[in-house]
Amino acid sequence: MSTHIRRGVRMWTVLFLLIASVPPLAAGYQIISVTLLPQEFYVGDRVEMRVTLRTTSAVDLLAPGRIPAVEWGEIHQVRLASRGLDWDIRIVLTSFQPGTRTIPPLDFGGIVVSDLTLHVPSILIDGRRDLASPQPQILPPGTRLWISVIAMVLVVVPLSFLVFLRWGRRSLAEFLVRRRERKPYRRFVRALSLLSQGVEQIDGREFYIALLEHVRRFLSSTLETDCMASTTTELGGHLNRLLSDDGDRQTVLSLFHRGDLVKFAAAPAPVDQRRDDISVLLSIAERLGAEHRSPQRNLHARRRKQRVGV
């Protein structure tokens, strides 16, 4: 009896172990959608097949560890993403043969997807077209634009330079010369205008200190010689170079002497005298500006007059 019992127990144990070793039944799935990207593709094109499937029970799927090889082409990649109960499978592949192709079963752990097919159209068969003749080498995008721009630069820049050399250079030089010549004059006139506004309020000594400093600055810029460190006598020498009119020269020198008297010998500086000095300086500076137009500018002016028949 005991032998029967032991046999029975052993049999039930073996039966239990057999039952336990049998894997549970695979979960079911339902393919919701299959999309191909791009939608229009032909043999040899790289295609992404997007499959959305829904499992019948909650299972954890895993991307297949090994991508199966196919004879008709190549499966490059298989990706898996969870969307709740749905799973998104993306299979990137290239088919080198036309026709309907079946993707080999893919084991995602909980399920094995084995009924995926796609139709690979042939441009020759389905499109009813002949093979195109060999095409020339394709240029990288934007090459034509760059070639056009460079060609334009190569043509336009030298052309502009030539045009500038012919007509623009003179005008520019003339403009710069005029501007440079007028700059000290403009600054001088502005300074004298400011000084004349306060001619009655300012002390005589301070007035001549400021006035003579402005004149020195003006002479420095006009003569391109530093007159700030020149004494009145030395300025006399500089003025010989600048002023052709002897009367103007003497006037400016007298002004400097008068200024020195006011500055260093406390000589009186009546307001009328100050006003006169400002107006005399302005008129001399104006004459000077007209006199000292560069010879080139005068030549241009003459040419212009000749052109218009003046």
Binding site for other proteins (CB under 8 A): 209, 226, 228-233, 253-254, 257-258, 260-261, 263-268
Nearest to 285 by CA among 222, 235, 209: 222
Nearest to 218 by CA among 198, 200, 233, 239: 239
Q: Which is nearer to other proteins, 86 or 260 (CB)?
A: 260
Q: Which is nearer to other proteins, 262 or 278 (CB)?
A: 262
Distance between CA 108 and CA 61 in Å, rounded? 5
Q: Which is nearer to other proteins, 90 or 258 (CB)?
A: 258
Cα separations in angstroms, 35 against 32, 90, 148 = 10, 10, 43
Distance between CA 100 and CA 119 in Å, rounded? 4
Q: Which is nearer to other proteins, 130 or 246 (CB)?
A: 246
Distance between CA 94 and CA 102 in Å, rounded? 13
Q: Which is nearer to other proteins, 54 or 217 (CB)?
A: 217
Smallest gap from residue 187 Cβ to other proteins (A): 18
Count CB neighbours of 301 within 10 A: 12
Smallest gap from residue 282 Cβ to other proteins (A): 23
Beta bridge mates, 79: 90
The kind and range of the H/E element at 281 are helix 271-291
Smallest gap from residue 235 Cβ to other proteins (A): 10
Q: Which is nearer to other proteins, 90 or 263 (CB)?
A: 263
Smallest gap from residue 261 Cβ to other proteins (A): 5
Q: Which is nearer to other proteins, 70 or 209 (CB)?
A: 209
Smallest gap from residue 173 Cβ to other proteins (A): 32
Smallest gap from residue 232 Cβ to other proteins (A): 7
Smallest gap from residue 229 Cβ to other proteins (A): 5
Q: Where are the beta strands (DSSP E) in 44-142?
A: 46-55, 73-83, 86-95, 99-103, 106-107, 112-113, 116-120
- Token output for 195: 């000084």
The kind and range of the H/E element at 205 are helix 204-223
Beta bridge mates, 89: 51, 80
